[in-house]
Chains A and B, each alone.
Chain A
């Protein structure tokens, strides 16, 4: 059995307010809770979204206290608000943290007796039969959380903070609303870093041991869009921005169903140890991992196919391998290529490299890597990122 999970609806290149109203009307939903953070709730685009819904008769309550790396408690706060309002939809407007908080709230709203720690893929949840719609409106083009089955929450025990990742196909949002004006208004540096995340999703899934024809199609196309349109998008081209926003969700669907690999397995503990942005961290790892994967015949064939598409159809200059094209892209958009570009100091990296290499071997994403080098080689690779 090869199961694929997708959002039921994807509305692309629409004004978010119009798109959300269309979904709610079709489903007969009159009351909704909108989940976001303080930054987004202050943006004009967000106010316009709310105005659209309210002017068309949708009763809206706003929860705007989601913080980066949200704690478990956020789920109950949102669920309580939704219950009190009689909401039949949770609308998450934000980046990965906001969407993850909304996913957790959906669980607590539909299954109030279920501890979030017990959300595991093999436990039936029945969230899709709970009568509550989860609509994700990503404001960045990168995490793919609007299409993924995963959520990450943070808890503190004994003075130690730890991230807890949970996954279930019922957590894939009912609808993903892709309004390119939202990421288009984000700071350039954030747009570069989140795009690196999306490209990493696409290229890791392409080489994953669990890739399928469905994930190959999405990953290949998402990567091609990012290679060919990202620079234009960052320079203000609206059509290119819409394409990049679509590519991030396509890559999100791809990795949800096909798995990731070494860049994420190393990137998770590395980013946690150094405090670096997730997208930038995995993006710096990406060309090294792609080069490493060239020794796997299946991965190389897929990467070479993409290289030929870029060169023979899209007119890119020749490079010896796909990693060359990644570096070319990074040069063109001013992306960080080494950890020092993110302000990481060498002694700090040397202090954590061995532990990060060890932790990478305990990250579930490593299960999908076509090649797994020994720990000492992973440590060398990490040190070479400086």
Chain B
């Protein structure tokens, strides 16, 4: 069972997204990779890039130091906030409004046009068996 965050978890997540009909439908039109960054509060912040394209996940890149990653969209949060979002304790759109989830790079207005895709991403994340 992979832990969050890790390369194995990101790969399982990518598979879960591809198995989600809801994500496929709601993310139509989203064609940009996203870097999911976990703020470390000290040394390098780990993260992974999901290559998202029109409702599918085409691959994963893992970075022990996410500052070396390149992606047009960068979402960052602390580990606790990411876990709250993944576990469904916080709505991802609300997390952005409440500054728990930061859009470090990318067009905010474009992100806000995919609210259902964000919710489907959370549902898919909940299907990944995650080490506590």
Contact = CB atoms under 8 A, between A and B. Distances in A.
Interface of B: 26, 91-94, 96-103, 108-109, 112-116, 118-119
Contact of A121 (B26, B98, B115, B116): B98
B109 A122 contact: no
B96 A361 contact: no
10 contacts: A1-B100, A3-B98, A122-B103, A259-B91, A362-B114, A364-B93, A366-B116, A367-B92, A367-B93, A368-B91
A372 interface: yes
A365 B112 CA distance: 10
A210 B94 contact: yes
Given A362-B113, A363-B115, A364-B115, A122 B96 contact: yes
A167 interface: yes
Interface in A320-371: 361-368
Which residue, of B114, B115, B118, has the highest number of chain A Cβ atoms within 10 A?
Answer: B115
A291 interface: no
Given A120-B108, A362-B115, A367 B91 contact: yes
A186 interface: no
Interface residues of A, number: 21
A1 to B, nearest CB: 6
A301 interface: no
Contacts of A22: none
Contact of B91 (A1, A210, A361, A372): A210
Contacts of B116: 361, 366-367, 372
A164 B115 CA distance: 16
Nearest 3 pairs of A and B residues by beta carbon: A367-B115, A367-B93, A362-B113
Given A362-B114, A366-B116, A367-B116, A259 B101 contact: no
Contacts of A364: 93, 112-113, 115
A324 B36 CA distance: 46
Which residue, of B98, B103, B118, has the highest number of chain A Cβ atoms within 10 A?
Answer: B98
A13 interface: no
A209 interface: yes
Contact of B99 (A2, A122, A210): A122
Interface string A162-206: 001001000000000000000000000000000000000000000
